[in-house]
Amino acid sequence: MNMLAARALLAAVLVGTGLSGCSLLPPFEDCGGTEAAVAELDQLPALELRPKGAVSIAGDPWAGARCVDDTGGAWLTATRFYAYGGTRKEVLEYYRREAAAAGWHPAGNLDTAFGAGFVVFCFESADRPSITLDFASPEQLREYYGTEPHPASLLGVDARTWFSWATEAMPDGSGISC
């Protein structure tokens, strides 16, 4: 194929997809103008649920709300991170009850996933963003956060379990499902 024919073919494809409302390139979004949506996501009442005795680890990088912008697009996130003296199973049972009472239901079978060793569990709501429960090991705390495995020892808790309760949304605030 000569260069002129290749250019004509490329022009036809680009014009055709443009006129049909389609695009060959995905629309990438950035964090511009997302402040209100980030603040609203951070106020999601279900994010305040936590088992009795769970101690909140506040501040960056542990918790908070922000817009994340990478080369693949942008999204909003709001996270709460906790240290807890109980077991992962106790935390999971708490969220099974309390998330359901607040209108979020497990996206899958919690018992099967827990028995298989899953560390991330997702809860969905019909009209609100999904929320994930994510357990961290001491190794992950060291790797991801650069801290020793007892981040809450200064807060007076004998932490055996570390977990985050978090939600994500699109830059316009619309929910992301599991």
Query: Looking at the whole model, is its pTM more than 0.85?
Result: no
Q: Per-residue pLDDT for 11 more than 80?
A: no
> Mean pLDDT throughout 156-170?
89
CA distances to 76, 88, 117, 120, 121 from 145, in Å: 20, 20, 22, 18, 21
pLDDT confidence band for 54 (50 / 70 / 90): very high
Q: Tell me the pLDDT tens digit for each residue of 28-49.
A: 578 999 999 999 999 999 999 9
CA distances to 9, 24, 25, 75, 86 from 12, in Å: 5, 13, 15, 34, 63
The pLDDT mean for the chain works out to: 82
Q: Tell me the pLDDT tens digit for each residue of 137-148.
A: 888 888 887 777
Could you give phi then psi for residue 27, rounded to 5 degrees? -80, 110
